[in-house]
Amino acid sequence: MTFETTNPATGERIDTYQPHDEATVDAALDDATTTFESWRDRSIEARQELAAELASVLRARTDKYAQMMADEMGKPVDQGVGEVEKCAWLCEHYAERGGEYLQDERIGTEPNAETYVAYEPLGPVLAVMPWNFPFWQVFRFAVPALTAGNVALLKHSPTTFGCAEAIETVFRDAGYPESAFQSLRVEADRVESIIADDRVRAVTLTGSTRAGRAVAEAAGRNIKKTVLELGGSDPYVVLDDADLDDAVETAVTARTQNGGQSCIAAKRLLVHTDVYDEFTDRFVEEMTALTVGDPTDDETDVGPQAREDLLEGLDEQVQASVDAGATLQCGGDPLDGDGFYYPPTVLTDVPEDCPARTEELFGPVATVVEVEDEADAIALANDTNYGLSSSVWTEDRERGRRVAEQIEAGAAFVNEMSKSDPRLPFGGVKDSGYGSELSHHGIREFTNAKTYWIQ
């Protein structure tokens, strides 16, 4: 089979890619193993210098790569610019802090004994990455992993193979050894055999819960470390004392940026009964006012969905929810014409057992649910198999902290939109995965915390 990339704004083919055959994959694994042996001995200072150079290369090509994302998966160009800039910030962060994060941890035990923990790299790490943030998802894994002394093998989504090739070029042009970062063009059903290969020492995946289970199962059979960042159905709790100006404006962005195709998007808006009507009216009005269109147009707020099958699946979830009794406040039908466009959509009066309440809606569709009080909001926030992130809105910071502490999620934001930040760990619980990316937590995930006792 061959892989094709398609422009979701027009439905036209961009490029065709041949999959790598077994010999090519085998050679890549050999090259990764050989490169690791020398790369692991490179000083942390040298690896940090290369991370800084990565940032320079990215910044010089920001517009080019933003356009590439718009072409391959429909991200509005201004959001693509933001994604590339965030990747550069990540590189600069690890260029500055990588050595600190990896320094030996001295531990006192007995007189005349030198005892400490060193964080040493594992080897080649396979990364299975999605299309929705085709640069950021890769860099937030690869930069800390490589700075720690590992080497990386990327299995990117076929939707964004052009981005995968571009990322490979960025690492090479920044001065990394040629096989320190390699992209593998392989079908999903070949991933299991690559995980099983002795030359691969660990695996990370960002994607669906279904894909996470498959990767975890394959890695578990082979006793290999995994980090999984999976789906989400994040609660966005609006309490009765919230600043509605901020809460509404942020909710629109949190639900629709990247075409709503984000694991940490605000998907279930849980609104206190005292402000429910006003919040909903204002939210629907602002969602309706968004401009849906060509991702290369500066006026566009929401671009197309990344693929036609994703558009169709989202619409099926919405229609099934309406058929079950949900009220459609706006949107709700794919737009006519070329491309895979779905309008910002708001559902209210949503039954508990319909897709809009029980499944992840990966597109610009918000579910607004009325709650009676804090306890009701917390119960509904936790009434999901997911646990990636959450957001609470109130003018009482301590009240926000109290509610946030009771939400089962990898992160809780009070009066702020859920987001990832290189300085803070990122990860989920329950069906949203395990393990951490970013900060010192992330850089240590693919290391051996090795104990030394020198008498």
Residue 182: closest CA among 126, 120, 129 = 126
Q: Which of 163, 263, 359, 360 is catalytic?
A: 263
Rounded alpha-carbon distances, angstroms, from residue 268 to 147, 273, 285, 399, 441: 37, 15, 18, 20, 28
Q: Which of 168, 229, 374, 408 is catalytic?
A: 229
Give, in degrees to the nearest 5, the angle at Cα 395 between 232 and 378.
Answer: 40
Two tokens, residue 148: 């720690």
Residues with Cβ < 8 Å from 271, sequence gap 6 or more? Answer: 238, 279, 280, 368, 369, 370, 371
Q: Is 263 a catalytic residue?
A: yes
Two tokens, residue 407: 């939400």
Write out the DSSP string of 242-267: S-HHHHHHHHHHHHHGGGG--TTSEE
Write out the DSSP string of 397-408: HHHHHHHHTTS-
Rounded alpha-carbon distances, angstroms, from residue 146 to 157, 161, 342: 21, 21, 38
Kind plus residue range of the DSSP H or E element containing 126: strand 124-128
CA distance 322 to 351: 9
Residue 59, classed as helix, strand or coil, is helix
Q: Is 229 a catalytic residue?
A: yes
Two tokens, residue 289: 């006012």
Residue 114, classed as helix, strand or coil, is strand
CA distance 426 to 451: 26
Active site residues: 229, 263
